Structure 1
């Protein structure tokens, strides 16, 4: 979440820097790329994907529109790269020693992601856009695959520890792992207290063991 949460990003001098003409190939400054990503997320959360203005994004990042097209040939490529650049939908595979502790880490990390105001707006828009057009299907599939890959590692560790049966329905278990948080925090817009979190972890532990 570095890009989404770094609200104090240095913007001074971006116009001057971006107008410099390097010798040879254009120099893609990482700090400007980061600023463009954050500006894109803010615009996306405000307007929705379909109404994103790349000109407004560039202006908000303190750059010219050409700075975007030097990096990405289209809005879609820009958006896909921005999503890949952050940990919005990916989690580490830290082994906590047992299934319930692994579930707890997963749930707490996901809760932290879903609490971010930009994420709460962008994720539903991603889903809605997929229903209108196939343009974002690759991006959504990539997000889903990354999260489920983490989930598979979590389940495989539990199987190796003999906490789960080897023939467990992994796809159903992964649906359990992600679904309740998404439904509560994104669909319903509800909060999740620490007490709620503890109860959810216990319920998920029992549900996954029954798959």
Structure 2
């Protein structure tokens, strides 16, 4: 019994197209590539990072990466923007000190992550060369934290712990600035009680009212 050669030829082509189309939508592949980007950035930096290296780390072909992003710059921008979109809920401990201490705890864990500690400084250097990276980093590292600081300050004003007109940007500088300096720039370990002392100092500097 014979079959129509056009039908037999068409079936395999359809079967081959399905996996290719499905791969574009597979979240596990996308997640593997994103994880590989972090590892590659930490290992070689943005300038030396390549699509080939990312694909090798992710265990996929280069085409899997290019289906999602046109270039390594677009890939990194998407990754940084995704972090900005995630955001972190503002702490609601019921006191200014408690909120500041909770924010410091979360920030210290993020900044001490071995990959983040390598990636963030490198991206900040690249931001001077690529305005797109600068904008994405601003959204990820500044705008989200600024929103959290604004919530903390507003709650403290409502409780009478801070005076009216307290500046959320200044609060963010006082809270996160020293931590970033120590963990990312100086790269030294935090001594015991450091976060407690830093929280108390930041609250005092903000004009805390007992």
Counterpart residue number, 1:187: 185
Stretches (4+) displaced over 3 A: 23-27, 84-90
Aligned alpha-carbon RMSD (Å): 2.2
Return the offset for 1:79: 0.9
Cα separation, partners in 2 of 1:111 and 1:87, compared to 1, 3 Å: farther
Counterpart residue number, 1:99: 96
Cα separation, partners in 2 of 1:89 and 1:198, compared to 1, 3 Å: farther
Q: Which has the larger radius of gyration?
A: 2
- The CA distance in 2 between the partners of 1:98 and 1:107, in whole Å, is 14
Counterpart residue number, 1:163: 161
Would the aligned equivalents of 1:88 and 1:119 in 2 still touch at CA under 8 Å? no
Between 168-177 and 197-206, report the one with greater CA deviation.
168-177
Counterpart residue number, 2:195: 197
- Give the TM-score normalised by the residue count of structure 2: 0.83
Would the aligned equivalents of 2:50 and 2:72 in 1 still touch at CA under 8 Å? no
Structure 1 spans left out of the alignment, 5+ residues: 1-19
Cα separation, partners in 2 of 1:97 and 1:136, compared to 1, 3 Å: same
Report the count of equivalent residues.
191
Would the aligned equivalents of 2:175 and 2:198 in 1 still touch at CA under 8 Å? no
Counterpart residue number, 1:44: 41
Counterpart residue number, 1:130: 127
Q: String of CA shifts for 1:100-140, please: whole Å, max 9, x gaps.
A: 00001000001101111111111111111122332411211
SS at match of 1:159: helix
More helix per residue: 1 or 2?
A: 2
Taking the TM superposition and a 5 Å limit, the aligned residue runs for 1:2-151 are: 21-22=17-18, 25-26=21-22, 27-86=24-83, 90-143=87-140, 144-151=142-149
Return the offset for 1:88: 11
SS at match of 1:44: helix
Counterpart residue number, 1:3: none
SS at match of 1:132: coil
- The CA distance in 2 between the partners of 1:32 and 1:24, in whole Å, is 12
Return the offset for 1:90: 4.0
Would the aligned equivalents of 1:100 and 1:201 in 2 still touch at CA under 8 Å? yes
Counterpart residue number, 1:177: 175
Would the aligned equivalents of 1:88 and 1:113 in 2 still touch at CA under 8 Å? no
